[in-house]
Every structure is written in structure tokens, then in C-alpha cells.
Copies of this chain bind each other. A is one copy, B any other.
Amino acid sequence: MPNLTDYIEDYLKKLLALSSSQYIEIKRRELAGKFSCVPSQINYVLERRFPLERGYLVQSRRGGGGCIRIYRIETLRNGSWRDLIDSLDRLSFDLGRARQLVKRMVEDKIISRREAAILDQLLREDLYLLTSLNSEELRLLLRELFVNALQELLKIEY
């Protein structure tokens, strides 16, 4: 026999599944109204059913126009990001794919915009012009630097 918390959890997860973006936005009061409960019930549900460990990130803003955002950090849990990085390592590494990966990781909130900025700088070919590296050497070096940086980065919690 499901309880209120279960119903609200299901509802939010359905919304997330339907959403075309990586997150949903809710109004605490409204949602509480829909389920005829006190607003703080929503906090309880978020705390219990949408913790970071389970792959959710909750952010909120108070005041007029405030709201709660729930992000799905889908691939963080099963470690598929690490697999992706490893595949970059083993298979052909190229700049385009690396940059693409950085972009997606930002979108999925795996890394921050600032972290992405460093990685993007690292991938700037022109910075390496002053060296005598040939293009294959450069590719291997970039791969080494990029993959390593990313692996270390993901070891540390936000």
C-alpha cells in the first residue's frame, strides 16, 4: 500500500521521464496542493527519494518566482561516463569527440562550466604549435592529458 511519499515520487519521476531536458521545475506550494499535503512534505520526498547518491541533483530558489529544480544525473551512477572516457582512450581519440564529450558532460552536470573551460583550453591545438611535435605525437599527448585530467576530476566529489 503506497503512501503519499511514494505517489509524489512516482509523479516526479514520470515528469522527469517525459521531460525533454535534463531536469524538471516545480513549485513547492503547487505540488503540495496537488497532493493535498503540507509543503514541507515535498522537502521530505526530495530528501528521501532524490538524493545525490541515487543520481539526482536538487536546486532551489526562494522568494517571488522561486521554484525547485530536479536534475537527473543519469549516467553518474552506473559509471558509464568512465566507460565513455575509457573508450576515448582505447579507440581513436580525436579533438572533435573530446570537445563533444566536454560539452555533454556540462549539459549533464557531470562537470562545471569552469572545469570545462580548462579542459577546452587543454584541447587547443594552437598552444602546441611552439613545440616540435608531429601530429601523431600531438594526438597521443592530448589523449594522455585529456583522459588523465578527466579521470582524476571524476574521482573528486563536487
Chain A: residues with CB nearer than 8 A to chain B?
Answer: 1-6, 25, 27, 64-67, 111-115, 117-122, 124, 127-128, 130-133, 137, 140-141, 144-145, 148-149, 152-153, 155-156, 158
Contacts and interface: CB of A to CB of B under 8 A. Distances in A.
A9 to B, nearest CB: 12
A104 B127 CA distance: 25
26 contacts: A1-B25, A1-B67, A2-B65, A3-B65, A5-B65, A111-B114, A113-B156, A114-B156, A117-B152, A117-B155, A117-B156, A118-B119, A118-B149, A121-B148, A121-B152, A124-B148, A127-B141, A127-B145, A128-B141, A130-B144, A131-B133, A131-B137, A131-B140, A131-B141, A132-B133, A133-B133
A58 to B, nearest CB: 16
Q: Is chain A's binding surface mostly helix, strand, loop or mixed?
A: helix
A134 to B, nearest CB: 9
